[in-house]
Each structure stands twice: as structure tokens, then as C-alpha cells.
Structure 1
Amino acid sequence: MNGDAPPRHLWLCADDYGLSPGVNRAIRDLIERGRLNAASVMVVGPAIGRDEVSALNDAAAKGPHCAVGLHATLTAPFHPLTLHFKPLEGGLFLPFPRMLRAGLLRRLDPEIIRAELTAQLAAFMEKFGRAPDFVDGHQHVQLFPQVRDAFLAAVKEAAPNAWVRQGGRHQPLARRLGMPKALLLDILSAQFRRSASRANIAFNPAFAGAYDFSQAPDFGELMRQFLDGLPDGGLVMCHPGFIDDILISLDPLTDQREREYEFLAGEAFPRLLAANNVTLA
């Protein structure tokens, strides 16, 4: 590490606020500890009532550098806010693989997508009394073909000063080829960045945080890899949380959320930031 170099300012964003009380509580705790500087809110989640919004605002006020954004959601097991959204399955959005396939095959209606995203942006503004600082997507749905243009149009109209998340990474190509999911994000993100640039919408210059949650890897080692070479302004996503019944009913990512929380709350994390000349302030 070069002690004379200015620190890199990175975004560390916890996704899924609103998914469950346990997820919300873990995110707020980390914000108050100064271990996060962004949180992404699901307005269609079951745990985003007035008290949970107020508690997040209070936590963010204690960490004045914490951004709060919208986690746009278009995949199961959540319900749309608009009445005529389609396609649906049992009244819910399609599961992630089918939603991605529908976009790739151009079977989505961009105007219906835009209307739903506009409704979610309006719900965020009604709950928080302001526009989101940034907008991203649950399961990277903002990057999907047909969704991305509707997403960018909705953001441009409702929250023109917000930045948006792209999922392109910074690692050498040889390292990326061994990670099919992350490589797909790179491919989808290239078009997303071009579209965002044409719309004059700001986005993060690089992204990290995708990994195979089912393998329960060492999150501290993963974070070291995420930080390696990430440029100033880059974004790392994370998914800390405490397990509760609501989380178990909605999401297969449970135990790993607690592992992420434990690392981010522990003393090894600030040492890792310092060793990499990274600041979240």
C-alpha cells in the first residue's frame, strides 16, 4: 500500500432492506457502526412499514455519508404494485431465470415494465419524502434486455439526479472467464452503460460482490478479492442479515447473510479497508 496515495472512496451497499425485519436490523446496525455507506430498499418487500422506514432514516442520519436508494424488484416471490403488470405467475413476478429469458427473447412489454418501476419510485418517495440517491435492481433485473431501457426512462423522469448501478467488473478477462454468473453480468452491463450514457445518467465505474452464495465461502477472503483493484467510486454489493421466519419463507440466502454480517461487524473488516487504502467515508 502507498501511504502517500489518497484513499479510494468505495460504495459498500447492503441490498434488500425491506425483505425481512432481521435483514433490516442487520443493515441498520452496520450503518450505525460506519461499516456500510449505502442501503438499497425494496418497496415491495413485507418489512417496509413506517417504523422500518423511520428506523433506516435514523440510522442513516448517524452515518451522514450513507446513501439510501431503491432496489427495483421485478422477480418472484414478490407482487407488483401496478394492477395490470404481466407476465405473472400466481399473482407474483416471474422467477429470475424466466424473467431473464423473457427479456432475452423480447417477450416483455417495456411500457408495462416502466409503469411498474415508476410506481416503485413513487412508493419510495412517498415513504421517504424524497427521491432515492441511487436506483439498482433486485437480482440485477435492471440489466435485463427490454427492462434496462424502461428502467432508465423511469429513473430519468422520476429521479433525474439519482445514479444507477451497473454490474461490470474490473478484473482481468482471465479471472472473469471462470465465473459464468459474473461474466453474464459483464455482458449485460456493457449495453446498460451505453444506454445510461446516452441518457446522461450517472453510474458506478466498476462493480464487485457477485459470488456463489450456495457454497458458503469465506466472506472475508471474498471481500479482499472484491477490493483488489476496484477503482475510486466503485461499488461492492453485500447482503447482511439476521435469519427470521420471514426471510426463510422468501429467500434461500439465509446463513450466508449472517456470515456477511459477522465479518462486516467485526474488527477484521476495518483492518482490511486500511490495508487496501479504502474509505467508506
Structure 2
Amino acid sequence: MTPEFAMKQVEKKRIMLCADDFGMNQAVNDGIVALAEQGRLSATSCLVGGPVFRSGTSALLASGLSSGLHLNFTESMGQAGLYMPVSSLIRRTMFRQLDVQQLRTQIDQQLDQYEDAMGQPPAFVDGHQHVHQFAQIRTELVQALNRRYTEHKPYLRYTWPANLQDTPRAQQFKAYIIAALGARPFATLARQHGYSTNRNFLGVYDFEGGSQRYAALLSSWLQNAQDGDMVMCHPAASIQADDGLGVQRYAEFQVLSSPDLGCWLTAYGLSL
């Protein structure tokens, strides 16, 4: 190995490419496992109430991916509990209108479900539609994690955007709206209690445009990513008819499984 090559290796920026929604449907599970086998992902976030979460855990464990809990308060998927549209959840958490005991119960139940199926604590915790950072929820989540994980704390997702200078303005706006729902207070709370987070966040867009548009977005995100950043994605190996995002999930899978991803990682000095 030449000194020049060794220096380039040292200077590589390590990022996390995390696929959300494992357990939502079989197409999502298949896509995530396939990408893991290709070395195209770092992690996946699990919907423990999803219809195929438990049946997919063997394949997930065998994949070697880091996995965590995708805390859910917006899609019941046939489960009883505290679920509502995200707009209602934002409003009710903002005014501290949720029942605290219900919040605690649901957080603990989902952590229990994850541990029972996976046989281990989650490596990290984030939120479906970013609910983990919402007012009320973030406080109860951190308290639950404090009670359960005194030695090995999971890391937590921080949604403040990374550099978005090459991202269309509409997508920049959406990214900052998500962050405004609690990114900074959540990060402050997490650090006060000794939890690590990613540096900044990428991957927010409107889930439209097919593979060509997603490729352009992903390339720009990777070009601007810095060491410690997280890129969120939502792939699926096929189009699930009853999934409103199914077409775009498949488009993401096509891009993530293409040779282009490896080329971008190399060109921008990144590793997963």
C-alpha cells in the first residue's frame, strides 16, 4: 500500500445509510435484506407492529445490519394503541395533550416487542415520521431508555439537516420543517442523558420522481455528507400494491442496488 493510498483510506468519511420501515411489508423486508447482502446499507429501523417484522427477524439478524426501533405513533397496522395522523400528533404533543401513561406504555411495549423478537436491545432508536423528537414523546422516550439501558445506551437519530446546498428548495424546506418539530430540543435532551446521535441528517424529500430523480438527490446528499452524518432511505424490492409509497420505494431500491452508489461513495470519499 502506498503512503498516498493509505492517506486516502484514513481520510474517508464514515456515514450511516439507514433503511427505515423494516417489518412494514414483505417487499420492504426483501429490499433491505438484499441491499444488506450487497453491502449497500449500514442499518435498518424496525416497525415492530408491522405484519412481517417478527417473521423477518431471522433474515435481518443474518444480514449483519445494525438495527433499531422505529418508534411508531402514527400507523396502527392493526395494533391497538395510541395512534393518530401525524398532523394530529404534532398538535397534541405541542400542547402536551397526550396521556403520559399511554405514552409510557406504548414506548415500553414497542421496546419489549423489539427485544423479544430480536433477542437483544435496539442499537438505536428513531421514529416513524420522526415522532421520537416530538414534545412529550421525547421526554418519555429518554426516560424509558434510562430505565432500561443503564450500561449500553442506544444511539438516537438527530434530524437537523446537513448541507443541502444542491438540494431543490422544496426539499430543503421539508427537511427544515421536520427539524423544527423537535430536532434541537431532542438533541439537547439526549446529550444531557449521555446518548450519542448522528452528526446531521440527509434523505428527506417528497417521495416522488422515480429512480432518475432519486439518483440525482442521493448523489447530491452523498456529495455533501460529512463524517458522522446519517442518510435515511426507504427501499423495497418490488412494488406492493397497497403501499402508497410502493412505486417510489422500488425506485429507491433500483438506485441503491445499482453500481452508481459504489461509484458515488468512492468519488466522495465515503464509507458505510
Closer/same/farther in 2, CA of residues 159 and 261 from structure 1, 3 Å limit = farther
Amino acid at match of 1:266: S
Q: Could you tell me which of 122, 133, 143 is aligned with 1:132? A: 122
Conserved? CA contact 2:201–2:231, under 8 Å: yes
| 1:278 shift after superposition | 0.2
Name the counterpart of 1:90: none
Name the counterpart of 2:68: 69
1:230-269 map, 5 Å: 230-243=225-238, 247-249=240-242, 251-269=243-261
Distance in 2, matches of 1:269 and 1:77, equals 34
Name the counterpart of 2:190: 196
Question: Could you list the runs of 5+ residues in structure 1 that have no partner in the other structure?
Answer: 61-65, 87-92
Name the counterpart of 1:37: 42
Closer/same/farther in 2, CA of residues 255 and 159 from structure 1, 3 Å limit = farther
1:63-102 map, 5 Å: 66-80=65-79, 85-86=81-82, 93-102=83-92
Q: Could you tell me which of 263, 271, 278 is aligned with 2:270? A: 278
Conserved? CA contact 2:209–2:248, under 8 Å: no
Name the counterpart of 1:213: 207
Amino acid at match of 1:262: Q
Amino acid at match of 1:69: G
Name the counterpart of 1:167: 159
Closer/same/farther in 2, CA of residues 235 and 196 from structure 1, 3 Å limit = same
Deviations 1:51-71 (A, max 9, x none): 4111111112xxxxx311111
Tell me whether 1:119 sits opposite 2:119 in the alignment.
no
Conserved? CA contact 1:42–1:71, under 8 Å: yes
Closer/same/farther in 2, CA of residues 214 and 9 from structure 1, 3 Å limit = same
Closer/same/farther in 2, CA of residues 131 and 270 from structure 1, 3 Å limit = same
Deviations 1:22-51 (A, max 9, x none): 1100100000110001011111101112x4
Name the counterpart of 2:223: 228
1:5-20 map, 5 Å: 6-20=11-25
Question: Could you list the runs of 5+ residues in structure 2 that have no partner in the other structure?
Answer: 1-6
Closer/same/farther in 2, CA of residues 262 and 158 from structure 1, 3 Å limit = same
CA-based RMSD of the aligned residues comes to 2.2
- SS of 1:218's partner is helix
Deviates more, 1:204-213 or 1:149-158: 149-158
Conserved? CA contact 2:31–2:235, under 8 Å: yes
Conserved? CA contact 1:71–1:137, under 8 Å: yes
- SS of 2:265's partner is helix
Count of residues in Structure 1 that have an aligned counterpart in Structure 2: 261
Q: Calculate percent identity across the aligned residue pairs.
A: 30
| 1:5 shift after superposition | 5.8
Deviates more, 1:215-224 or 1:205-214: 215-224
1:53-64 map, 5 Å: 53-60=57-64
Deviates more, 1:158-167 or 1:187-196: 158-167
Amino acid at match of 2:115: M
Distance in 1, matches of 2:112 and 2:13, equals 33
Deviations 1:199-220 (A, max 9, x none): 1111111111110113446111
TM-score norm. by structure 2 comes to: 0.88
Name the counterpart of 1:89: none
